[in-house]
Amino acid sequence: MANKKSSHFNKDARADNTASTGGSPSDDAPPSAAPAEPSVTASDKKRQPAATDSGALQEENKALIVQLQRLQAEFENYQKRSERKQQAAQDKGAFQLVKELLEICDALEIAVRHEARDLAVEGASPEDAPRKSASASAGLRLLYAKLMNILEKAGMMPINALGRLFDPHLHEALLQDCLPEQPDDLVLEELQRGYLFRGKVLRTAKVRVNTHMRVPTCESEDESETSGETPTPGKAGKAAQSEKDATDRGDA
């Protein structure tokens, strides 16, 4: 009991002392030291160059992305060039094949024309002709039509020459005529049909052209002689004249 009373007395004495001094029990404690500066550890030292490495990696990534984009563009251009070369090779092969098949078309066309001409001379129609001849004629026409249909689907187109002005890129003048009432360089007759294949000239059309240059049967020559003027040759006339001059030089 005595110990308990003494402890209570000590507590009351300390409380009174605190109240009289106006402080707290911790005021009597010695002042604490100033906070120490944070020490730089090894992990912090590793973090500092890590930021520098991150920037270098970003620059490297950008450079790699640019390089990959350049390589992708070059590969796409290579693919396009390869496709163009492959298409050009295919067109060249098809061009040569169609050009050779065109000779068969010409033979069939001539056969069909001769058959029709013979029937016209004899005064008989295909229905009145003998059955064997009519069957052969029908077979030729059918074969010719099917072959032309296949070639046209492949890209072959006929050159329309009759009634058009002479074009040295599409027409070849084999014969010339002089009709003053007709325009100069007008195609009067188509001797052999020409064809285009996928925009390229497969064969020029062989034609007869009207020209107002010096031709014995041309009335314009007489008029030019009386007037003292020299007639101006057209495209076909110039082409024929150049061929004649080349032949004369070769003979000389």
Contact assessment for residue 161 and residue 59, using Cβ atoms and an 8 Å cutoff: no
Write the DSSP string, 107-140: HHHHHHHHHHHHHHHHT--TTTS-HHHHHHHHHH
> 154, 189, 204 — which closes off a domain?
154
Comparing 49 with 28, the larger pLDDT belongs to: 49
My answer on whether 183 and 220 are in the same domain is: yes
Inside any domain, residue 68: no
pTM above 0.75, yes or no: no
CA dihedral 94, 99, 101, 105 (to 10 degrees): 140
Query: Which residues span the domain enclosing 141?
Result: 78-154
Domain boundary among the residues 107, 128, 154 is at: 154
**In a shared domain, residues 186 and 137:** no
Q: Are residues 209 and 239 part of one domain?
A: yes
Whether residue 140 sits in one domain with residue 114: yes
* Overall number of domains in the chain: 2
Residue 12 falls inside a structural domain: no
Asked whether residue 8 is assigned to any structural domain, the reply reads no
CA atoms within a 13 Å half-sphere pointing along the CA-CB vector of 73: 6
The answer to whether residues 131 and 199 belong to one domain is no
Do 143 and 103 reside in the same domain of the chain? yes
117 with 184, same domain: the answer is no
- Token pair 């906070």 is found at 35
pLDDT at 217: 47
Of these ranges, 12-16, 98-102, 214-218, the one predicted with the greatest mean pLDDT is 98-102
Assess if residue 19 is contained within a domain: no
Instruction: Look at residue 87 and tell me if it is in a domain.
Output: yes
Q: Looking at the domain assignment, is residue 160 inside a domain?
A: no
pLDDT tier for residue 239 given thresholds of 50, 70 and 90? low
Which residue bears the tokens 């098949």? Answer: 101
What's the whole-number mean pLDDT along residues 54-72?
90
Shared domain for 178 and 123, answered yes or no, is no
Say if 57 falls within a structural domain.
Answer: no
95 and 126, same domain (yes or no): yes
Q: Average model confidence (pLDDT) for the chain?
A: 74
Please list the residues that pair with 115 across neighbouring strands. none
List, for residues 107-150, the tens digit of each pLDDT value: 888 888 887 666 655 555 555 545 556 666 788 888 889 999 99
How many Å apart are CA 155 and CA 63, to the nearest integer?
Answer: 48
Domain termination site, one of 154, 186, 218: 154
Residue 185 lies in a domain: yes
CA 250 to chain centre: 45
Tokens of residue 243, six digits: 């061929």
- Portion of the chain with pLDDT greater than 90, in percent: 30
Confidence label for 53 from pLDDT (cuts 50, 70 and 90) = confident
Give the highest mean pLDDT range of 40-44, 47-51, 139-143.
139-143
